[in-house]
Structure 1
Amino acid sequence: MKAVVFEKFQTFPSLTDIEKPTPGPGEVLLKVAGSGACHSDVALYKEFAEGDPGASAPPFVLGHEISGWIEEVGPSVDGFTKGDAYLVYGPIGCGHCKACSRGQDTYCENQASMPYLASGIGKNGGMAEYVVVPARNLVPLGDADPIEAAPLSDAGLTPYHAIKLSLPNLAGGGKYALVIGLGGLGLVAVQILKALTGATIIATDMKEDAMKAAEELGAVTVPGGADQVERIREIAGGRGADAVFDFVGATPTISTAHASVAVQGRITIVGIAGGTLEGWNFFTNPYEATITNTYWGTIEDLHEVAAMYRAGQIKPQIEKYTLDNALEAYEKLEAGKINGRAVIVPHAEI
């Protein structure tokens, strides 16, 4: 079968033929409906070097945002019907520590001894015609379109988890939420905030088309520039935002987040661009304002994201590509020419 394979560090992936996998005990074989191309994939093959913290050793098939139809089940697996559609919870922990027992494989206590981090991160992922995943990691989609849903397993789950933890900061009237970065995750975040809170949503980006998309979803937008923070704080009544979500994570966006947050506000750094917060001290930080980070989310969170999708509360903005054109999608992703999320569709004509 065809697959997009990360073969060597700091080397562009290849489209190649590999053997169709067979599910083992506790696993299922999915016929891939869709697999989202994420900036994290680019970091895996372009930025990391062998031995770097967070690096996953090649070779393996890319694609950690996966949806698909049940094709075959492995030994000791039942309760699944061939053809039913599911989202895949990507992270894979040890399965028996405290974090994994609550469905939070992202914070597995035995991660250092695991041979991989997730489907598509160290283990063969969804940029292929078929993929084997743990049966435990499947979230049902019902009659909802699995191709459109594919990015939700990261681009939906990650902002949902960050927003869910910040809901106390947005409870009540007169609250403001700030979304920095309007790519695949940021645009879904706007929709989640709209559905779960009554906050005024401020969104900022450098791309006019991304801000227009955010406006259509109900956000007030502010373009990047010299007066960016001033305009954000003006919209937020001079106080600043009660909850800030940075989906870039570069030093300039972290600085914008910190300059825009209100007293007792909360900043969540979601993007992994590797930036740092410069110039923090007791007097420059709004009193009791916190800064934290999150990583993906829990299996339970993904069930809730799928429920929001089925209810029509969130809808990823996607560009579809055939598996034969998957490398083109990664080229455009590197060049910043993807609006929303690129989804590779192995089994449908586009």
Structure 2
Amino acid sequence: MRAVVFEQWKTFPSLTSIPKPTPGPGEVLLKVAGAGACHSDVAVFHDYDESMGMTQLAPSYVLGHENSGWVEELGEGVTGLEIGAAYLVYGPIGCGHCAACSRGQDTYCANAATNPSLASGLGRDGGMAEYLVVPARNLVPLGDADPIAAAPLSDAGLTPYHAIKNSLKNLQGGGKSALVIGLGGLGQIAVQILTAITGATVIATDMKPEAMERAAANGAVTVAGGPDQVAQIRELTGGNGVDAVFDFVGIAPTVRTAMASVARQGRVTIVGIAGGKYEWDFYSTPYEAELTNTYWGTIEELYEVVALYRAGKITPDVELFGMDDALEAYRKLEAGELSGRAVVVPSRATA
């Protein structure tokens, strides 16, 4: 079968032929419906190397940690799954027996440092291929919903959902506000999630006018980046600041914008993993304002994300690529040329 393989550090992946996998005990073989291309993939093959000590991510393996597909074959001991049924894949794979894994939060597995991989597509073969093997426990049913458009939800939907859910205490009640910084794939879905599950006024900011137009179409009040950005955000909140801020970029300027925009007793969550630094001091930080970060989410929350998707409350903006064009999807992602989330569809004919 054809697959996008990360073969060595600091090297662009290759499109090559590899053997079709076979499910082992407790595993399922999926015929891949869609595989989302994520900036994390670009970081893995462009920025990382062995000096970082992340042995779980060492090449080679098939990329793709945002996956959906149809059940093709059941491994030994697997029951309760229907051949041909569509599922979304929960990507993280922990040890399965620590406290975090027992509550479905494999991203915070206590044994992550010694696990052989971090997730499907992150150290273990992922979904940028015609077929994918995953643990049966990691499948979330999609019913009759479109599995191709759903593929990015396993990260680009779950990650903002987890961050927002953790901040709901700051958004309860009337007159609350939320700020989304960075309107790429995750930020756009965050706007939809906030609109669907809170009554807060959603403010969204980005440097790209077309990105702000999409956010406005989904109910956000938009503010363009620039020198008066924070002043405009504070004016929209009556001068009080924002109750919950979500930074989907994570560079130093966006973190500063987040902290300058937050209200007293508000909460700032850094979701973007760009590694920006922020210098905290007692006098410039609003009293009791929280600054935290987050990573991915739980499998239980992915069920909730799928429920929102099936109800039509969230709709990922996707750009589809056939397998022949999978490397072009990564090239466009790396160059910042995508308008939506790139999804590779193995069954799609080359354009």
Mark yes or no: TM-score above 0.5. Answer: yes
Equivalent residue, structure 1, for 2:124: 123
Equivalent residue, structure 2, for 1:171: 172
Contact (CA 8 Å) 1:187, 1:340: kept in 2 or not?
Answer: no
The CA deviation string for residues 15-50 of structure 1, in whole angstroms up to 9 with x for no partner, is 000110000001000000000000000000001111
Contact (CA 8 Å) 1:24, 1:74: kept in 2 or not?
Answer: yes
Distance 1:340 1:230 in 2: 29
CA RMSD of aligned residues (A): 0.9
Shift of 1:54: 4.7
The CA deviation string for residues 87-141 of structure 1, in whole angstroms up to 9 with x for no partner, is 0000000001111000000010111110100000000000000000000000000
Equivalent residue, structure 1, for 2:41: 41
Q: 1:334 to 1:239 in 2, by over 3 A?
A: same
Equivalent residue, structure 2, for 1:232: 233
How many residues are paired up? Answer: 349
Contact (CA 8 Å) 2:9, 2:48: kept in 1 or not?
Answer: yes
Equivalent residue, structure 2, for 1:327: 327
Runs of 4+ in 1 over 2 A off after TM superposition: none
Contact (CA 8 Å) 1:180, 1:204: kept in 2 or not?
Answer: yes
Contact (CA 8 Å) 1:87, 1:150: kept in 2 or not?
Answer: yes
Equivalent residue, structure 2, for 1:91: 92
Equivalent residue, structure 1, for 2:278: 277
Contact (CA 8 Å) 2:90, 2:302: kept in 1 or not?
Answer: yes
Distance 2:243 2:284 in 1: 17
How do 1:150-165 residues align onto structure 2 when only pairs under 5 Å count?
150-165=151-166
Give, as a single letter, the amino acid of the residue that structure 1 aligns with 2:108: Y
Distance 2:332 2:238 in 1: 39
Distance 2:171 2:90 in 1: 27
SS in 1 for 2:281: coil
How do 1:137-152 residues align onto structure 2 when only pairs under 5 Å count?
137-152=138-153
Distance 1:116 1:17 in 2: 22
Distance 2:323 2:184 in 1: 22
Shift of 1:340: 2.2
SS in 2 for 1:31: strand
SS in 2 for 1:51: helix
Contact (CA 8 Å) 1:144, 1:310: kept in 2 or not?
Answer: yes
Distance 1:332 1:54 in 2: 26
**2:12 equivalent to 1:20:** no
Shift of 1:53: 5.1
Contact (CA 8 Å) 1:25, 1:75: kept in 2 or not?
Answer: yes
Equivalent residue, structure 1, for 2:300: 300
| % identical equivalent positions | 70
Distance 2:35 2:53 in 1: 25
Equivalent residue, structure 2, for 1:4: 4
Give, as a single letter, the amino acid of the residue that structure 2 aligns with 1:242: D
TM-score by length of 2: 0.98
Distance 2:213 2:290 in 1: 30
**2:81 equivalent to 1:80:** yes
Distance 1:87 1:158 in 2: 15
Shift of 1:348: 2.9
SS in 2 for 1:300: helix
Equivalent residue, structure 1, for 2:221: 220
Q: Unaligned 5+ residue runs, structure 2?
A: none
Give, as a single letter, the amino acid of the residue that structure 2 aligns with 1:3: A
Q: Unaligned 5+ residue runs, structure 1?
A: none
TM-score by length of 1: 0.98
Distance 2:187 2:317 in 1: 11
Equivalent residue, structure 1, for 2:194: 193
SS in 2 for 1:112: coil
Distance 2:205 2:9 in 1: 33
Structure 1 range deviating more: 150-159 or 334-343:
334-343
Contact (CA 8 Å) 2:321, 2:348: kept in 1 or not?
Answer: no
Q: 1:267 to 1:327 in 2, by over 3 A?
A: same
Distance 2:204 2:239 in 1: 16
